[in-house]
């Protein structure tokens, strides 16, 4: 949607770019949980509701430049800015987020191997869950991101000695062996059972 969104017809210079960064380790140890923040080249004082994940993008900002522009009852330029920011989140941010998950899965999370240890609990804590986001704008990330999960090998399974699989992977014979992100209400102990 962002790439198809015609900024030129609205007389605005909008660039559909975004990036996602996760704070995983600090001095070789797991990083403490920190609230995710939005960036528009520089950090904004608001929060996204994501845990340890920060989002940078060419967002349209509020007039005081302290938050990403959002609005449900706006018209004119305000409506264009709202649609643009949502398009960036649904397209560019979702794609960048999936790239980060794909890189971590490709890295193997160093489960039992060499290198820094990142647990499955830490990995799945990066995933956005319904109700965890700070606004409807950041909640718009969920659907497109989870739609991308169908074809990407980012879901850990105990099958075949343990590996990352996609939902479309034909090797999944027992859905109980597939671990999806723990629900927001799940405790750390429940999530640890996944590992």
pLDDT in single tens digits along all 195 residues of the chain: 555 555 555 566 677 899 999 988 888 778 888 999 999 999 999 999 898 999 999 988 887 877 887 776 677 777 888 888 899 999 999 999 999 999 888 776 655 455 556 778 888 889 988 887 767 888 889 999 988 888 888 888 777 777 788 877 655 544 444 444 444 444 333 333 333
Element (H, E) at 137: helix 136-139
Instruction: Give pLDDT, residue 113.
Output: 52
111: Cβ contacts below 8 Å, ≥ 6 apart: 117, 119, 120, 162
Of 128, 143, 32, the residue nearest 86 (C-alpha) = 143
Residue 15 CA, chain-centre distance (Å), reads 20
Q: In what side-by-side order are the strands of the sheet with 18-22?
A: 18-22, 53-57, 38-40, 42-43
Residue with tokens 């590992």: 195
- Compute the distance between CA of residue 128 and CA of residue 107 in angstroms, rounded to an integer: 20
Q: Tell me how far CA of residue 26 lies from CA of 5, 32, 102, 154, in angstroms.
A: 39, 8, 21, 24
- 129 in Cβ contact with 181 (< 8 Å): yes
pTM of the model: 0.78
């Amino acid at each position: 949607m962002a790439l198809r969104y015609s900024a030129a017809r609205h007389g605005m210079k909008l660039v559909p770019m975004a990036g996602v960064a996760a704070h995983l380790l600090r001095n070789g140890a797991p990083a403490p949980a920190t609230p995710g923040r939005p960036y528009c080249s520089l950090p904004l004082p608001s929060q996204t509701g994501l845990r340890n994940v920060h989002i940078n993008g060419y967002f349209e900002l509020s007039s005081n430049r302290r938050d990403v522009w959002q609005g449900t009852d706006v018209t004119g330029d305000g409506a264009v800015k709202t649609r643009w920011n949502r398009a960036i989140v649904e397209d560019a941010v979702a794609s960048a987020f999936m790239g980060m998950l794909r890189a971590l899965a490709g890295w193997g999370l160093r489960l039992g191997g060499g290198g820094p240890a990142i647990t499955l609990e830490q990995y799945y804590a990066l995933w956005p869950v319904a109700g965890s986001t700070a606004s409807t704008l950041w909640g718009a990330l969920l659907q497109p991101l989870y739609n991308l999960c169908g074809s990407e090998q980012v879901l850990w399974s105990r099958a075949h000695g343990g590996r990352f699989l996609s939902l479309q992977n034909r090797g999944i014979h027992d859905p109980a062996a597939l671990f999806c992100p723990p629900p927001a209400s799940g405790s750390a102990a429940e999530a640890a059972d996944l590992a």
